[in-house]
Structure 1
């Protein structure tokens, strides 16, 4: 695995690792009950597992790891004060980006419940840079692809792809107006295939390229 990458492995059925050569890592054991507790306290849809992945480059987890390293040299009382807050931030991030909901079913009206809709939109927002294919959204949120698509359209009046396109543009505008990120970086973070596609899509929607729009709307 590349330096700074992350793996998520479920221990429900056991797990093993074989290490050959020099290996340095931060390891976290997070009880599944913690995710249930976090969801209940925040009024979020339930998460009962995380998606298994290996060698993922996650900038948020990398930054949290970098913040943890110096704590090994801190006095115990300082470290013990900071660790719960960092642990909460890590758990919340993992829940939103990699959480897997139990099997879901639509109501008798064929619409999503408010919590189901919230979970789907939160997952899309947390994974926007990855392109968010519909089958992955459905898998993470506990739906079949057909139920997800029909329920989302019935509830929001938009297809999943239409909502993603609208949210992607809204996120890009926010990034342009509030940050100094490059156009290429914003394109990647908002899930566009490349900078050229982002510029073309943005220009069609807004009538001006992203750089010109930024000059007019910078906060």
Structure 2
């Protein structure tokens, strides 16, 4: 669960931004409400000239925005082009937060937002008897009356969170989550062929943790948990991303480290084996020969 704002309308000064890149000083409404699987926000402004929104890639999952106003426009910057989108009443957007985002905003807006982590999306899909869904299709300024009506029903709870009925909020977020995976779940992401893969942020985090613990002091379950994924999904997504299981990737990185040691020192093979996370010299020799095609001793002599 992400850390959410206090459950009341906020007023802010300064140039800081919220978790979605919006300038806090320009928001006339800034409300939040936590859910068991989905965090709910309401963001609104009456300003017509707005700051540019920029957010880096992250492993937070997806954010779904539902507009209750017309007249808002966004010019979204992609790698080699920009696209302009006009938001009408009851239009929505779905953003994959694993991709960096930059957009120029113009015109007032009033959005109800739903943030869903990868783990929560998987749980929602499982509960909806649609296992295997790991993404939502990217949408921008698409009309969705059903989702708009569901979002609108939560506005009173956002306005008076202390009086909100927790059971009602849970039932509404369950209905919203089920609707999202049924309508938008499992479609290929626009501009990406990485569906079912780790996000860039997750891949970098996983590889960094594994490299820091080549001696085996971190488990695959630990890495999966840090990436906010189940162990099974993490292994499948890692293989989809890298072409190897986490264990195969670690073995190759251990061999790479061993080759550096062999090339630059006279350290005994038994010590090289331990330094690179192998159980003993025999294990090291077997894996090294399987990957490199020759024994560590022969490779050192020829290096």
TM-score between the two structures when normalised by the length of structure 1: 0.47
TM-score between the two structures when normalised by the length of structure 2: 0.35
Asked which structure has the greater CA Rg, the reply is: 2
